[in-house]
Amino acid sequence: MLSPTQLLLLPPTLLLCLVIRRILTNFFFHPLSSFPAPFYTRLTSLPLAALSLLGREPEFLHNLTKKYPPSTRAILITPTLLFFPHASSLKPIYWSPTHNHKGSLYGTGALGPTSLFSTIPAEDHKSLRKSLGGTHWSVSYLKTFQEPRIDNLVTFFVNQLSLLPPDHEPFQMGEKLAQFAADVMTLLVFGKPWGFIAHDRDERRLLSAFRESLPMFAFAARCNSFRELILSSPWIRGLIMPKVDDKTGSGYLASQAKLAVAQREQEREQGIGGEGKMRDYLDYTFDARDGNGEPLTRAQKEAHATLLIQAGADTTGSGLGAVLRLMLEHGECMKKARREIEVADEKGLLSTPVLYEETKQHLPYFVACIKEGLRVNPPAPNLFGRIILEKGGTVIDGVHVPQGAEVCSNPYVVGRDPELYGPDAEAFEPERWLNGNEKRRAEMEAANFVFSMGPRVCLGKEIAMMEMYKVLPEIVRRFDFEVVSAGKYVDRGGVACNKDFMVRVRRRA
């Protein structure tokens, strides 16, 4: 029998043994222990999880990268996650046909039902993407079929802003643009805008419910022991992970998607809308066929509708807000962009509202501002993890990575890689997309990681870019902005926002 003193000492002794074992494993015997890392990220995944919750992760990773010599190609940012900070790592990670197996970021269930985005195995994703992808995500389709409808929303948005009296209360421009993006998303996905701009509010709590889901998504994705000890129990999983009928977060969004799918099913059965109906992305989801020619299951349709709600609104709003905010912060850029619009207007080159193709052809400086804004303040500064499945591992950016390892990169950090963007990599300089070495510019285009890249790249990228190319030049053309509060770029667990970006707008003559 143990004496009372011995009994008392048992728990701390056990704990000490566990800690020593953890140290020995992580520092000496783990397959990734030879990679450089600060001692605390090698020891546990908690620091990264906490930094993400605090909205400091992008900045932390960027700081960390600068602490190591440029010869350092990969850093261990949790005991099991290898981070690649340089743009030269992107192609070998994300374009490799063999690393499309997603990592721990995706499989936690924190965003609700398993969707295209959260499908882990490469093969399963490939067939689902084949079913759900297609020409309706392309620029040429969007220009022909959806741009006229987006034009209506741009015109409505400009009119709403024009109605404000000159001395109106300042408002959050980041929120306003998120509302615009949410109207576009609901228009495209469900057939009509839910009225975010019309009512100046977060309709059906779509934006706030999305934001509520981010902390759990961020924490569960990073914290290994949370996943291994807590989420591994189906009972606790059921208790804390989102489920349909929740009043908040992803569970609530999933319930909205479920309602929309049920309603559409009825309408389609009754032939409502019929031949002449403008098809929306919910129709395309119903039309999707798997490899055997079968429609998707009810659960797959609901998951896809949930994903589109989550993926399409706040991200795009964040990008719109960041570009405008950075242009206003750099007055000389705004001046140049405006001059470019005036010159194009004098030549009669721009419609009202401006068309995607017109911006692309006639407003190259504005386009450069958009690219630069997204580079410096990417809307999704997340860790897009992939698992290396090749036998014997693989080589990424010159370093050998063992089989089974999880690797990732981050658009905020690779977008600041001095090897690609030079010593002024952190500055907002739209000119870099227009001047200088052509080869370098092509490399910059190829290193665009804002929407991720490769076979699992954002499906809605062209929709988001179309919004950027239309609503931003149009409001710069029609309004002067008085910046009441400059605001700043803040990460919220993988999706950024433009916090406290307050303006007054005045219609230009």
Ligand X SMILES: *[C@@H]1O[C@H](CO)[C@@H](O)[C@H](O)[C@H]1NC(C)=O
Query: Does position 290 bind ligand X by CB under 6 A?
Result: no
Q: Please report how many Cα atoms fall inside a 13 Å half-sphere around the Cα of residue 428, on the Cβ side.
A: 21
Nearest to 183, CA basis, from 175, 276, 345:
175
What's the closest the beta carbon of residue 126 comes to ligand HEM, in angstroms? 9
Nearer to ligand X by Cβ, of 63 and 162: the residue is 63
Name which position in 182, 380, 407, 503 contacts ligand HEM (CB under 6 A): 380
Give the number of other Cβ atoms within 10 Å of residue 135's Cβ: 9
417 vs 462, beta carbon nearer ligand HEM? 462
Least distance in angstroms from the C-beta of 215 to ligand HEM: 18
Which range, of 30-38, 398-406, 459-467, 469-477, touches ligand HEM by CB under 6 A? Answer: 459-467
Token readout for 321 is 């807000």
Site for ligand HEM in 60-99 (CB under 6 A): none
**Which does residue 13 bind out of ligand X, ligand HEM, none, counting CB within 5 to 8 angstroms by kind?**
none
DSSP state of 456: G
Considering only residues 57 through 116, tell me which ones interact with ligand X, judged by CB under 6 A. Answer: 59-60, 63
3-state secondary structure of 202: coil
Distance CA 289, CA 132 (A): 8
Give the x/- contact pattern for ligand HEM in 308-347, rule: CB under 6 A: x--xx--xx--x----------------------------
Per CB under 6 A, contacts with ligand X among 2-61 are 56, 59-60
Nearer CB in complex with ligand HEM: 190/504 = 190
Choose among ligand X, ligand HEM, none what residue 59 binds, the Cβ cut-off being 5 to 8 Å by kind.
ligand X
- Find the length of the chain: 509
> What distance in Å separates the CA atoms of residue 415 and residue 426, rounded to the nearest whole number?
9
Site for ligand HEM in 172-191 (CB under 6 A): 185
> 83 forms bridges with which residues in the sheet?
75, 408
Q: How far is the CB of 281 from ligand HEM (least distance, A)?
A: 7
Residue nearest ligand HEM, CB atom distance:
460
How many C-beta atoms surround the C-beta of residue 352 within 10 A?
A: 13
**Angle between the N-to-C axes of helices 314-329 and 331-346, in degrees from 0 to 180, rounded to the nearest 10:** 100
CB of 315 to ligand HEM, least distance (A): 4
Beta bridge pairs of residue 102: 386
Helix (H) or strand (E) holding 368: helix 364-376
Per CB under 6 A, 460 contacts ligand HEM: yes
Among 82, 206, 450, 472, binds ligand HEM (CB under 6 A): 450
387: contact with ligand HEM by CB under 6 A: no
- Single-letter code of the amino acid located at 472: L
Partner whose binding site includes residue 193, from ligand HEM, ligand X, none (CB under 5 to 8 Å by kind)? none
Interface with ligand HEM, residue 250, by CB under 6 A = no
Taking the complex as a whole, the smallest distance from the CB of residue 63 to ligand X amounts, in Å, to: 4
Tokens found for residue 359: 């911006």
Number of residues that bind ligand HEM (CB under 6 A): 23
Nearest to 147 by CA among 358, 316, 306, 304: 358
State the Cα–Cα distance between residues 492 and 58, nearest whole angstrom: 10
Task: Please report, as residue ranges, which positions from 21 to 50 form the binding site for ligand HEM (by CB under 6 A).
Answer: none
Least distance between ligand HEM and beta carbon 437 (Å):
27
Q: Specify the residue, 56 or 129, whose C-beta has the smaller distance to ligand HEM.
A: 129
Does 497 engage in binding with ligand HEM (CB under 6 A)?
no
Q: 3-state class of 498 per DSSP?
A: strand
Q: Does 265 bind ligand X (CB under 6 A)?
A: no
Which residue lies nearer to ligand X by CB, 35 or 60?
60
**Closest listed residue to residue 426, CA positions, set 436, 434, 415:** 415
Least distance from ligand X to the Cβ atom of residue 39, Å: 15
Residues 439-468 that bind ligand X (CB under 6 A): none
How far is the CA of 350 from the CAs of 23, 323, 347, 359, 430, in angstroms?
Answer: 64, 21, 8, 8, 22
What does 451 bind: ligand X, ligand HEM, none (CB cut-off 5 to 8 Å by kind)? Answer: ligand HEM
Q: Are 302 and 254 in contact (CB under 8 A)?
A: yes
Choice between 80 and 377, CB closer to ligand HEM = 377
Give, as ranges, the residues between 149 and 168 that touch ligand HEM (CB under 6 A).
none
Q: Which does 63 bind (CB under 5 to 8 A by kind): ligand HEM, ligand X, none?
A: ligand X
Task: Out of 22, 30, 91, 129, point to the residue binding ligand HEM (CB under 6 A).
Answer: 129
Q: Are 345 and 242 in contact (CB under 8 A)?
A: no
Where does 155-263 show beta strands of DSSP type E?
171-172
Mode of pairing for the β-strands spanning 502-507 and 386-387: unpaired
Beta carbons within 10 angstroms of residue 392's beta carbon: 8
Q: Contact at 8 Å (CB) between 316 and 379? A: yes
Continuous segment of H or E residues that includes residue 219 = helix 206-222
Say if residue 165 is preceded by a cis peptide, omega within 30 of 0: no
In the complex with ligand X, the residue whose CB is nearer, 58 or 112, is: 58
Strand ranges for 2-63 from DSSP E:
none
Q: Return residues touching ligand HEM (CB under 6 A).
A: 116-117, 129, 185, 307-308, 311-312, 315-316, 319, 379-380, 384, 450-452, 456, 458-460, 463-464
Q: Return residues touching ligand X (CB under 6 A).
A: 56, 59-60, 63
